Amino acid sequence: MSRLLTQEDVNFLENSLSFDDKVSIIFLLYGHRNPQYALQILTVAARASSSGETTFLVDWMKYMEESGDWDDEILEALTIMEQNLLLIRAGFDADELRDKYFPRTAEISYHVHPMLKGLYHFCERLDDEAVTRLIKQLQQALGDVTFTNECMEIILLHLICNESILLGSKRTGKEANLLTLTAAGKATELYDESDFLKSIVEHFNRNVAMLEQSDASVKQIPKMPDVPSKAYSTSNASESVMEPSSSPLESYSFHPERAGIVLLINQFTFYREANPELVELIPPRPLKDRKGTEVDKNSLVALFRELGYDLLVEENVTHHQLLQSVQQAVQRMQPTHCSLVVCLLSHGQEGKVFGSNSIPVEVKAIQQLMASERLTGKPKVLIVQACQGADLQSAVPIPSYEHDGLDGVERTASVFMDFLVAWSTVPGFASIRHVEKGSWFIQELCAKLRQHYRSEHIMDILTAVINDVASKRGYGNECMVPIVQSTLSKRLYFRPQP
């Protein structure tokens, strides 16, 4: 981007912002440098809110002029705040800035402090009622602290000042810590928001640890002594030392404009097949309606549309129609498509899922259809939200949770190349689904993919999904562990590779 910010630009941008937006940009720019000064600036900005005239951004620009990326930091902050119209009015290309800064991906930050970006996204996820509950909980937890303002970013600045929030620093190797805020979120039943905070902290601290390991490795490399060149001989090839290969693992090709096909089969209601030839396959007890599956369906549709896929959605199909739908999805795959994804939301038993007519279908049969020669070399992803058994860790009745399964004995495994099969639970156990919020596995999968797809490949994302799902507990202390089977031969990213 060749366009550079001038003082006139900065003055225009600042005084076009509302007071709430000024709070946000002060938070993003000053939060890690001098949060106490940021609170003083906001006091001044509040007094000037009637006229709208402030100069704190111009002052910041002058203070930071010796830094070569001060203008990038302002532009990134405004892009994170999605001030697209304002940036266009100032002569900038908003689409170009979005492509440069990835504003909606909380873990990626180039100039703004990554933890401040994540905390800004956290604030944006809260409604007024949630903010009020959270502030009361923080005051109770911190004891002698009283907050006079109910703007969440101002509250966060206070927490940074008294070190209840530690932003961390990659430069000095200091880790971030949001335990006080995360605990308050859980205490006020903001579970998704608390998980989001946990995710951004883990991502930041993981990068800090990697930098420390890298620095340590560099320090441990011994200095080679000065040896005359005559001491080396190349006459004997067997004595030569080969440098280890450092070439990275290859990645599958991915382009959003031709991402491929997603087949989503959502089974909500079930009936008992009347065909006498199939009666013996029907489970002894009727299958219940799968309340909450609509939430999972909507989450998956929104996610894969965002990633660029063409969606095929089928609902309440029989066992035969289910197999036909998979075959048709395979046939719709074009040579230019990058991948095929099949999502099955249904009741199940070990190695099987049920059609709406209560007849089970072997997942292995679905894989065999997906293992078409026309898809050779392309990644094939199968996501299964269904039980693989009936066992739960606790027999305590669960008022808001159900499970997607019944007894079963057959075991299956994937033996196909370029396959990834992600089950919501390990063999022999039930898969927990909240009747209002959707299943633990699908909701966590969608959240983690949306958070990390621009920076991480699918196996690392699924590792995070397994970790977070395994840490959840139901009302009766129930838990579950997803399982992933992979024959992927490359890394699978849902974004173009450089």
The residues annotated with a catalytic role in the active site are 347, 387
DSSP sequence for 31-70: TTT-HHHHHHHHHHHHHTTTT----HHHHHHHHHTTSTTH
The answer to whether 378 and 334 have CB atoms below 8 angstroms apart is no
Compute the distance between CA of residue 337 and CA of residue 328 in angstroms, rounded to an integer: 15
The answer to whether 178 and 201 have CB atoms below 8 angstroms apart is yes
Compute the distance between CA of residue 316 and CA of residue 319 in angstroms, rounded to an integer: 10
Q: Which two tokens stand for residue 444?
A: 């966590």
CA atoms within 13 A on the CB side of 333: 29
Do strands 352-354 and 348-349 pair parallel, antiparallel, or not at all (unpaired)? antiparallel
CA atoms within 13 A on the CB side of 275: 9
The answer to whether 117 and 83 have CB atoms below 8 angstroms apart is no
Compute the distance between CA of residue 238 and CA of residue 246 in angstroms, rounded to an integer: 22
Helix or strand (DSSP H, E) at 401: strand 401-403
Name the amino acid, one letter, at 241. V
Name the amino acid, one letter, at 57. L
Compute the distance between CA of residue 273 and CA of residue 296 in angstroms, rounded to an integer: 26
CA atoms within 13 A on the CB side of 476: 13
Do strands 310-315 and 348-349 pair parallel, antiparallel, or not at all (unpaired)? unpaired
Q: Which of 446, 449, 445 is closest to 494 using CA atoms? A: 449
Q: Which of 353, 352, 326 is closest to 340 using CA atoms? A: 326
Indicate the burial class of 156 (C-beta count within 10 angstroms; 0-12, 13-18, 19 or more): buried
Compute the distance between CA of residue 259 and CA of residue 379 in angstroms, rounded to an integer: 11
Tell me the angle at which helices 440-452 and 293-307 cross, rounded to the nearest 10 degrees: 20
Indicate the burial class of 414 (C-beta count within 10 angstroms; 0-12, 13-18, 19 or more): middle
Residues whose CB falls within 8 Å of the CB of residue 38, separated by 6 or more in sequence, listed in order = 26, 27, 30, 31, 157
